[in-house]
Structure 1
């Protein structure tokens, strides 16, 4: 094996194994090691020996964990502002699902040998026994994609005179959580565009995760977006012995959760494809200790994938669901009161549904301070390592305290992360060129490698490609920013820069299965022997 990374199956494989040993779990200390690993692998290439300023680690501004991205340029010998971006993320999800093999999951060869003794699906066992797949955290999602891109970059760096466009390799942090890494990259790219750089396309190499035709390659022309809406349910406290004096938040929450979970109305449709519905990601009981008082406060936040649905539409749907839940909960309360012939007087409750934006205004009126002042001061009191979603929910809880708001009430709003959708509208020359290059690649794969590759409109996994062409309106921006818990202090989104960039996107990555699961795995023949050549061909095709 050669000393430095090169575009050969052996070099890609060995570098991938080393990279997987870096435990770059999102929000961990190991995440900080990943850009340094890539930097050390690339800096010994002759190009970077001669052009050291074209390779650098990029700190993420105001990141509470002090993380960084990795940036590597290969500039065409004939000076040009035309640039193709190669991009991916180096953070991975944790290995808790791997049980007692959670440490071994970062050592793909060892893990592949050990998992043979585990209870795994028939499909996973067939793949294991074929010898064509390697198992382990990050093998598919998405360290293989980053290393393949780096290997192609290494090859093309040998002859910059043959390039008709610059290459910019971006390896970013925090894709699996709040997208802080790609937001920093977007700000950097926006400055470059102001300086006259012309971005032809951004190529990501996330693994294929499509349920159908799992065993062949995919190229996607767009990516799904994601909202993280929340509901905060405020009941009316009472002693359990005086049940009908109040109304438990749990009664409303159970109704609301049942209405929202898997609700097909939230499942977006685009070009005859229906995307997954809303699902709850976390539930909070805000009751601090045991007592025989009914639960007064419960909060929930959700994953909501979308292609074309606006934040205003999502808020309206959340409010409609909240109204239905409140109506059903109060109807149950009345029915139960009648059936039990209780001596307690029946209470008349006035339900409320409030957007987070209105709650913020109520807090301003109650305190005489701006919502930003209240937010900044309160969030400063929380541990910085607390997840952004938890901080946001605690902030909503604090706003309720300072306003004195009473239930039954449901507050709706948004939490981070937010990821826009991206799709090829076939309107611009740049978009049409991407289509042409992709179709050419499909034919090339069949002719030269007897490999079937399908073209998909939307990559159904959440990816950093979302960030390169925000297509929303000013109204959408206002709806999101005004209803985001912690906006401006814990989280912002580079709307202006993303919209300004407007870069065509494409995902061409390895064949992988079971991302985030104990049986995450990578199909080696395609990743090592086919994909690097297809990626190189796509770069040359787009640069012409």
Structure 2
């Protein structure tokens, strides 16, 4: 390669400019942020000469009209590397009195130091004070997650664009809405293969630039991830037998049933993915509520649970089957407990005595409802359309499951197990596939060589444990998607276009406390080492 004298932009300065443009998910700032990116990228001489290669695209069916940003630097030949990341950030509500400068890292830094010198109590706060006083960490909302990652990608893109003789092509792609629903990546990624074919490009690697956390010396944060965790939001629509509170033995309180399910699901090793010898993150409850919306002395009849169930190898059908089995055991045990308690109270004919719990999947409930209601699909779609369009997926799923339960004409006690939100597929570079094995070997060799040159060790980790947009760029099992869609009542949460099926890794910044008020990035790595690693990998895959 021949490098020109054009100076590439500083990753630190680009980070500061991107952070100052607040882009909290689902706000006007996120809608406007592509204009900031277009301005930053538009300063590169390449895009001044080739404005047609820099554009923003409205995300189809996005309720907020958000845009993805594309910046393509062309060279010779079809080989292409994609550098990608999200530009939305989480709220600054947890910054308290510092919220007014949360998007201004240079103003925030002295404020945090002053605050922590007086008020630090926890180990995490004392660690943050030491970090910030060292000068090696830069605070601010989005600095770590993940605008320093975007800045590293822009720096690598600029370095490539500065070559007077370029071999291959680099696409920088910044997407919206990763923190909530991944509308940006879900729209962009599945289209990439067809777009590349039209452009005559060969997409060899996707580098996701998302952040990782490390409370130690950085050895865990300075890592390349060759796979990403998947996410399933398992739901349980729970039905009891309601009764007057003065005659409680005549009913089966749904809150008791729901609590027993919570106890059975929470951190259950039998529900934890242990594929490939790796113990994954155990399931945890994200929502538990009864669905009664008013007060009187009738016991609640229905409840709703949502359980975060990460996966890295287990297929969705197996996950659902395990939850169903655990739910059957838990509900049977709950009714046994109620029977024993009733008998101690001198009642051998309580509602629990005559009850057998019913446990079924969302797909089975839909089939039952279809037997009862003519033209059910049309009626179901009409009800879905009547719901508030701003309902989140879990709330919408609760409403839809309740409607199906009524249509099916079934009685409690019961639980309907399904999925209540977006399915993030787990993906990995599979060494059993020749093309992916070759990509994996090249990633390892390049980072080993460049790391030695820079004096840093880059560890390899199999699973990126933070839910990420890697799910949409890698490969997913179509059968897995079919199972999830069949058991997800909210059609808007279905995967309609499969992920891109491209070799994908994550190589991003590291720091501490992201999503918290002490979010901060380790500057020497993020602004110095990371852009060089990204550039080295890019060049290796373009040769």
TM-score when scaled to structure 1? 0.92
Q: How many residues matched?
A: 528
Q: CA deviation at 1:493?
A: 1.2
CA–CA distance in structure 2, aligned partners of residues 389 and 502 of structure 1: 28
Is the contact between residue 208 and residue 214 of structure 1 (CA under 8 Å) also seen in structure 2?
no
Is the contact between residue 7 and residue 532 of structure 1 (CA under 8 Å) also seen in structure 2?
no
1:280 to 281, 285, 294: 285
- Indicate the larger mover: 240-249 or 375-384: 375-384
CA–CA distance in structure 2, aligned partners of residues 319 and 294 of structure 1: 25
Aligned residue in 1 for 2:97 = 100
Matches within 5 A, 1:330-345: 330-342=335-347
Is 2:159 the partner of 1:155? yes
The DSSP-based 3-state class of the residue aligned with 1:338 is helix
Aligned residue in 2 for 1:31 = 30
CA–CA distance in structure 1, aligned partners of residues 411 and 101 of structure 2: 51
Deviations 1:232-290 (A, max 9, x none): 11111111101011101111111110110111122223444322100111223211011
Distance 1:187 1:413, change over 3 A: same
Aligned residue in 2 for 1:115 = 112
CA–CA distance in structure 2, aligned partners of residues 267 and 99 of structure 1: 36
Q: CA deviation at 1:107?
A: 2.1
Matches within 5 A, 1:284-363: 284-342=289-347, 347-363=353-369
Is 2:209 the partner of 1:197? no
Q: CA deviation at 1:513?
A: 1.5
Is the contact between residue 352 and residue 408 of structure 1 (CA under 8 Å) also seen in structure 2?
yes
Q: CA deviation at 1:194?
A: 4.6
CA–CA distance in structure 2, aligned partners of residues 370 and 401 of structure 1: 12
Root-mean-square deviation (CA), in Å?
A: 2.2
Aligned residue in 2 for 1:530 = 529
Aligned residue in 2 for 1:465 = 470
Q: CA deviation at 1:538?
A: 1.0
Is 2:137 the partner of 1:137? no
Q: CA deviation at 1:473?
A: 4.4
Q: CA deviation at 1:21?
A: 2.3
The DSSP-based 3-state class of the residue aligned with 1:141 is helix
Distance 1:103 1:229, change over 3 A: farther
Aligned residue in 2 for 1:449 = 454
Q: CA deviation at 1:324?
A: 1.4
Is 2:174 the partner of 1:171? yes
Q: CA deviation at 1:510?
A: 1.3
- Indicate the larger mover: 399-408 or 259-268: 399-408
The DSSP-based 3-state class of the residue aligned with 2:533 is helix
Is the contact between residue 433 and residue 542 of structure 1 (CA under 8 Å) also seen in structure 2?
no
Q: What stretches of structure 1 of length at least 5 have no aligned partner?
A: none
CA–CA distance in structure 1, aligned partners of residues 241 and 436 of structure 2: 54
TM-score when scaled to structure 2? 0.92
CA–CA distance in structure 2, aligned partners of residues 345 and 461 of structure 1: 47
Aligned residue in 1 for 2:3 = none
CA–CA distance in structure 1, aligned partners of residues 20 and 403 of structure 2: 42
Is the contact between residue 420 and residue 466 of structure 1 (CA under 8 Å) also seen in structure 2?
yes
Distance 1:102 1:393, change over 3 A: farther
Is 2:442 the partner of 1:437? yes
Q: What stretches of structure 2 of length at least 5 have no aligned partner?
A: 1-5
Aligned residue in 1 for 2:405 = 400
1:128 to 97, 114, 132: 132
CA–CA distance in structure 1, aligned partners of residues 424 and 265 of structure 2: 21
